[in-house]
Structure 1
Amino acid sequence: MAWQRKTPFGYMVRGGETVPCPTEADAVQNIFTRYLAGASYGRIAEEMSRGNIPYHRHTSQWNKHMVKRILENGKYLGTGVYPRLISDEEFLAAQIQREDKTDYAPCPAALNPVREKAVCAVCGSRIARDTKSHGRPRWVCPDCGAIVHISDEEVQKRVSHRLRQLANTPDLLTPPPAPEAAPSADALRIQNELNVCFNRSDINPDYMKTLIFAAAAEQYAVLPDLTPVHDMEVLRERLETGPANDSDIQELLAKAVKAVRIGGQDYIELELNNGTMIGKEQTT
């Protein structure tokens, strides 16, 4: 069981009265100041651990729970036998900030596959989900500054609708163009060295063997990944034979969709690996 202080941090008992402890009272003020400046519980705990002012006599190490207890302790306002250490304004500001930081909506697990592929419909950059606006989900583009307010349920509903559209038209699942393998700079240098060696009269068999293996390795390294092409073909063939189930829908998102484009007015569009766009028309 963790040891608990009998006298709150910031105070000490002298002559039978509770009075401010100079070093601890200054630390309390500093904790409020740092927190209101934007420092996290963890960062403040790290700073306090380095400051040689222990929270209690059993350890010099601070943790975020100690910092949290100080920030929410109303005794610092000067109630009962405890002298005031913090002004009403500072204490209120800290409580409001604590509520803002804890008022968030965790991302539903079902939304994670969408979040991983979400991009801004305005500029095409990655767009991030956050809940800094009083716990209401929104999507923010750090590049162009676009902000889209849309509920998690609506995002899932619209993405699911687009995927169902795609599942009902499997002919759209044409494989993306197979990328061409281009020789790397190292491959060209190795090939040039091979050509030089072949034209020499004093060929070193071991060195030639090394070059040949190196050339083969370089050629293998630049072979294009044909997995997306294969995945699209398999998905199309499967969907052409019958209706899609939930597993097929999730596989479409994972293997056929390159990006989920999120824009204003609840606009959501899917960009497939082959460049096809699903959902350019607004869903009603």
Structure 2
Amino acid sequence: MAWQRKTPFGYMVRGGETVPCPTEADAVQNIFTRYLAGASFGRIAEEMSRGNIPYHQHTSQWNKHMVKRILENGKYLGTDVYPRLISDEEFLAAQIQREDKTDYAPCPAALNPVREKAVCAVCGSRIARDTKSHGRPRWVCPDCGAIVHISDEEVQKRISHRLRHLADTPDLLTQPPIPEAVPSTDALRIQNELNLCFNRPDINPDYTKTLIFAAAAERYAVLPDLTPVHDMEALRERLETGPVSDSNLRELLAKAVKAIRIGGQDYIELELTNGTMIGKEQTT
């Protein structure tokens, strides 16, 4: 169990009364000053450890929790027992700054699929949501530096609106282009070796069989995955024949949307797997 001081740091008992300890009281003032200047708990703890002013008699090493306790201690404002060490203005400023640094907005679970596909509308790189601006959600592109301030509710509203438009016009869900199966270099080499084997008078059956299986495996490896094509067609048929549900919208986001472009002026556009763009012509 950690050892705790009986008398708060900054004070000492003399003649039965609690009075300021000169060195510790100066350290308290310095901690508030450094914190208000932007130093972190950890940085202040390192400085205090080098300053040869122990937090208590059992160790000269400080940690961020010790610094935090000092910054939160209302006794430094003065009470019937403890003399004032810190002004009201300094203490209040420290509390406001501490709340700003710890204030954040957790990302709603509903935004997780959006974050996976969000890209910067300026440069096309991945864009990330954070809440470093006093807890207000924003989207930041680490590549071009673009910053978009938009609430989580507005992001969800606009994406839902575009998905609803897409569900109401399933003709937009044309099949994505099927990539061409291009044989690999190894496949060409194996096929050449197989052709040579067939032209030899002394064919080695086991070696030829190995080459045939290897050639088939290489051809299979480059065959395009048609799952997205089938998924798109099945989804389109369901939307054409039945009512649109929230489940349909989630499936659209998962299977039909390739990227979500986020930019300034609350700009949000959906890029479908077939290359169609949803958003520029839509209003919210």
Using structure 1 for the length normalisation, give the TM-score: 0.73
For residues 113-140 of structure 1, the C-alpha deviation after alignment (integer angstroms, 9 at most, x for no partner) is 1121111222222111111111111112
Check 1:118–1:23 CA distance in 2 against 1; reply closer, same or farther (3 A cut): farther
Which shows bigger deviation, 4-13 or 50-59? Answer: 50-59
Structure 1 unaligned regions, length at least 5: none
2-side partners of 1:199 and 1:87: how far apart?
97
| Shift of residue 275, structure 1, vs aligned partner | 0.7
| Shift of residue 250, structure 1, vs aligned partner | 0.8
Which shows bigger deviation, 68-77 or 254-263? Answer: 68-77
1-side partners of 2:173 and 2:282: how far apart?
21
Which shows bigger deviation, 35-44 or 174-183? Answer: 35-44
Question: Aligned with 2:111: secondary structure?
Answer: helix
2-side partners of 1:22 and 1:198: how far apart?
97
Which shows bigger deviation, 159-168 or 89-98? Answer: 89-98
| Shift of residue 143, structure 1, vs aligned partner | 2.1
CA contact (8 A) 1:120 1:127 kept: yes
1-side partners of 2:188 and 2:87: how far apart?
72
Q: Which has the larger radius of gyration?
A: 2
2-side partners of 1:200 and 1:62: how far apart?
82
| Shift of residue 194, structure 1, vs aligned partner | 2.3
Check 1:227–1:25 CA distance in 2 against 1; reply closer, same or farther (3 A cut): farther
Question: Aligned with 1:145: secondary structure?
Answer: coil
Which shows bigger deviation, 249-258 or 32-41? Answer: 32-41
| Shift of residue 146, structure 1, vs aligned partner | 1.9
Counterpart in the other structure of 1:193: 193
Counterpart in the other structure of 1:153: 153
For residues 198-220 of structure 1, the C-alpha deviation after alignment (integer angstroms, 9 at most, x for no partner) is 33344433333333222222222
Question: Aligned with 1:148: secondary structure?
Answer: strand
2-side partners of 1:5 and 1:189: how far apart?
78
The total of aligned residue pairs comes to: 284
Which shows bigger deviation, 164-173 or 97-106? Answer: 97-106
2-side partners of 1:43 and 1:29: how far apart?
16
| Shift of residue 12, structure 1, vs aligned partner | 10
2-side partners of 1:227 and 1:31: how far apart?
61
1-side partners of 2:32 and 2:207: how far apart?
69
Question: Aligned with 2:177: secondary structure?
Answer: coil
Runs of 4+ in structure 1 off by over 4 angstroms are 1-97
CA contact (8 A) 1:46 1:62 kept: yes
What is the RMSD of the two structures over their aligned residues, measured on CA atoms?
4.7
Check 1:108–1:79 CA distance in 2 against 1; reply closer, same or farther (3 A cut): same
| Shift of residue 99, structure 1, vs aligned partner | 2.9
CA contact (8 A) 2:262 2:269 kept: yes
| Shift of residue 8, structure 1, vs aligned partner | 6.7
Check 1:213–1:33 CA distance in 2 against 1; reply closer, same or farther (3 A cut): farther
CA contact (8 A) 1:121 1:262 kept: yes
Question: Aligned with 2:259: secondary structure?
Answer: strand
Counterpart in the other structure of 1:35: 35
Check 1:139–1:202 CA distance in 2 against 1; reply closer, same or farther (3 A cut): same
1-side partners of 2:26 and 2:199: how far apart?
82
Check 1:15–1:119 CA distance in 2 against 1; reply closer, same or farther (3 A cut): same
| Shift of residue 237, structure 1, vs aligned partner | 0.2
For residues 63-106 of structure 1, the C-alpha deviation after alignment (integer angstroms, 9 at most, x for no partner) is 87567546656789999999999999999987665433311111
| Shift of residue 152, structure 1, vs aligned partner | 0.7
Question: Aligned with 1:122: secondary structure?
Answer: coil
Counterpart in the other structure of 1:111: 111
Structure 2 unaligned regions, length at least 5: none
Counterpart in the other structure of 2:272: 272
CA contact (8 A) 2:162 2:282 kept: no
CA contact (8 A) 1:267 1:282 kept: no
Check 1:251–1:59 CA distance in 2 against 1; reply closer, same or farther (3 A cut): farther
Check 1:56–1:116 CA distance in 2 against 1; reply closer, same or farther (3 A cut): farther
2-side partners of 1:236 and 1:128: how far apart?
31
CA contact (8 A) 1:100 1:132 kept: no
Check 1:4–1:213 CA distance in 2 against 1; reply closer, same or farther (3 A cut): farther
Using structure 2 for the length normalisation, give the TM-score: 0.73
Question: Aligned with 1:200: secondary structure?
Answer: coil
Which shows bigger deviation, 168-177 or 52-61? Answer: 52-61
| Shift of residue 173, structure 1, vs aligned partner | 0.6
1-side partners of 2:233 and 2:181: how far apart?
21
CA contact (8 A) 1:118 1:126 kept: yes
